Homo-oligomer: A and B are copies of this chain.
Amino acid sequence: MAAHSPRERLQAHELARISGVPGLIECVPNFSEGRREEVVEEIVRAIGQIEGVTILDHSRDETHNRSVVTFAGSAEPVVKGATAGVGRALELIDMEQHTGAHPRIGAVDVIPFVPLGTTRIEECVDLARRFGEQIATRFDIPVYLYGEAAIRPERKRLADVRRGQYETIRDEIGTNPERAPDYGPARTHPRGGAVAVGARKPLIAFNINLRTDELATAIRIANTVRESSGGMPAVQAMGVLLENPGMPPMAQVSMNLVDWERTGIAAVVGEVRRLAREAGTDIDHCELIGLAPTGALLEVASDTLGLRGFGADQALELRLARER
């Protein structure tokens, strides 16, 4: 125990050892459809019917007109599931008809592969590249590699791949060498546009809702905390205004924590709280979207309580998971 810092005792590989969870791959495709529930259900069904695939989560957003499916399994079923999802989405979604608040380049906007348990990121990089090449051929669609799977360094950031969105790519892909795809034809798919395929570490999608309706406050706080404008490492953030029917509007700092072992949940909440109070407001509540590494949640408990010598091996159900 002395050899491990508290942080080490909460890391993913340690959780995998404790719980006996094997090496798995998570896939989190984002589809450009968030309004027609039956279309999203169809796509989820196409993925989930593959033997060896487990659907962990799916959600859709009407304002963004976008949905996110989270599933996991070993490499082969995950590739089959992702391929099935792409096939069904290309049948059901037409980018020429699509509008929404969220930037996107195609019917299947982005497909990240994420290492879980003992899986290494390098395995997901290889898988993303092989998968990207396969779907480019099979569906005759241009594929851009991003994140850790990027071949061109200027495509590491998804936002750069997505610049100008579907409409710009459609118009420039054949003529602008900067927009040439990594795989597939130098023209967009007639209905599906293009696809970004990548590999990344697990991220935590985390929203902090403020007790104000001033969007400017959320934007200012987001700009202060995010890494790209000199804030906290491994934090992506944007300010948005939530406008739900029957509810007062609420400013939100919407974040991705892309490496919680560098900047954890408690650290970012503490900083946002400080900035919100400086601006004369405060945090109302927080939301965790989808799944988060258990170590990141236990770290919040451990930090809050000032626990000395705490490790994830003290969490009963994690320890029991390997005894089945």
Contacts and interface: CB of A to CB of B under 8 A. Distances in A.
Interface of A: 15-16, 19-22, 24, 54, 56, 72-73, 116-117, 202, 265-266, 269, 283-288, 290-295, 297-298, 300-301, 304-310, 314-321, 323-324
B24 A320 contact: yes
Contact of A285 (B292, B294, B308): B308
How many monomers of this protein are in the complex?
A: 2
Contacts of A315: 291-294, 297
B20 A72 contact: no
A20 B322 CA distance: 10
Nearest to A54: B323
Among A19, A21, A294, residue most surrounded by chain B Cβ atoms (within 10 Å) = A294
Nearest to A295: B317
B324 A324 contact: yes
B285 A314 contact: no
A21 B293 contact: no
Give the top 6 A-B pairs by smallest Cβ distance, nearest first.
Answer: A321-B321, A300-B301, A294-B315, A294-B317, A285-B306, A304-B304
Given A19-B321, A290-B314, 16 more contacts: A20-B324, A21-B317, A21-B321, A21-B324, A22-B324, A24-B323, A116-B320, A266-B304, A269-B305, A285-B306, A285-B308, A292-B314, A293-B317, A301-B301, A317-B318, A318-B318
A305 to B, nearest CB: 5
A68 to B, nearest CB: 14
A22 B285 CA distance: 34
Contacts of A293: 315-317
Contacts of A308: 285-287
A155 to B, nearest CB: 27
B309 A291 contact: no
A319 B300 contact: no
A65 B296 CA distance: 37
A19 B304 CA distance: 25
Nearest to A320: B21
Among A295, A305, A321, A324, residue most surrounded by chain B Cβ atoms (within 10 Å) = A305
Contacts of A290: 314
Given A22-B324, A72-B323, A321-B19, A309 B287 contact: yes
A288 B310 contact: yes
Given A24-B323, A317-B294, A304 B301 contact: yes
Contacts of A54: 323
